Each structure stands twice: as C-alpha cells, then as structure tokens.
Amino acid sequence: MNIIKTDIEEVVIIEPRIFEDARGYFFESFSQQIFEEKVCKTTFVQDNESKSTFGVLRGLHFQKPPHAQSKLVRVIKGKVLDVAVDIRKGSPSFGQYVAVELSEENHLQLFVPRGFAHGFVVLSENVIFQYKCDNYYAPQSEGAIAWDDPDLNIDWKISTDKVILSEKDKQNKPLKHAEWLFDYKENLY
C-alpha cells in the first residue's frame, strides 16, 4: 500500500498494490494494521455504498460532533471526481480542498478526516461508490456546504448544467455562511 501525500497534510490518497495475471487482478483494499501504521489510528464502524449516474453530485457533506466522521472512499465501478474541503476554523488550509479522480481503473482511495466536508461528482455513465466511516450516521448531526461556493471555486470537471443535485443539496450555503464549522484544535480521529 502506497500513501500519497496531498496539499493538505491530513488528507491522503491510498494506492493499493495490485496483482494482475491472466485470470484478472487481486488487491487488499483495506488492512486495519497497515492503515494505522501509515495513516492514523482509527476504527471504521460502518460501510456504505451508493450507485449514481453521470452528473450526480453528492456533497459537500459532513457530520458534526459528537457524530463527526472520517471516511475512506473508493470507486468499485465507474469514475468520480472526489473532493475534500478543510472546514476547520483556524486551520492553515481552511477553505482549501483536495480533488482526486477515483476510478475502477486506478483503484485509488481517499482518506477524508473529520473536519472536512466531502463530496463527489460522477464522471462516468454510472458509478458504484463505497466508503468506510469511523462513526455511525446520525441524521441530527448532518452538515453541508454549497458545492458551487464561488470562494472555493472547485472545478468539478463537468458543465454546471449537467450537475444533478438532491433537493437537500440545492439548499446548502457557502462556507462563509456555514452555521457550524470544526475547530482546528479538535481531534480529527
């Protein structure tokens, strides 16, 4: 497993070691021991999966404490642009983001720690998206910021008229108007 640093120290890309032959391929998608040695100590407690079509944009979501979540995300089928935005007040990278293409071909995973808003847009005809969470989903702790916040200026790699949002995500406010943010000094894991 190769850990690739990003412009935001806490957000990392995980590249698995893939073994291919005439039969197909094999790789270890997760090892608690290796993850703790190379990334951070955390225990994932919930796995989620979604299926979406081209243009679906889910995000930018987070959960507030005490139900904050770190996520380890990957694509099983298709391709997405995955984005993690630092929403920790006082952080040197506050309002900055990491964007990485995750696909069934590259098998990359992105670790999104607590204190970050997360979202993705589907770049292929369909996608099957999976992620591990280190805390259980709690609807009363949902938070979100606008995917099209002009201050963030995220290039989602598709035309805005092709973006498909949930009714809930259409209501999200820009980061500067967020009703709740993380404190940079809080424990991320």
Distances (CA, A) of 121 to 26, 67, 103, 115, 175: 27, 24, 12, 20, 19
137 catalytic, yes or no? no
61 catalytic, yes or no? yes
Residue the block writes with tokens 């497993």: 1
Distances (CA, A) of 163 to 52, 58, 103, 166, 171: 12, 10, 19, 10, 14
DSSP-derived 3-state class of residue 97: strand
Please tell me the distance from the alpha carbon of residue 158 to that of residue 63, in angstroms, as a whole number. 27
Catalytic residue among 61, 97, 107, 118: 61
Catalytic residue among 107, 118, 131, 136: 131
Rg (CA), the chain: 16
Catalytic residue annotation: 61, 131
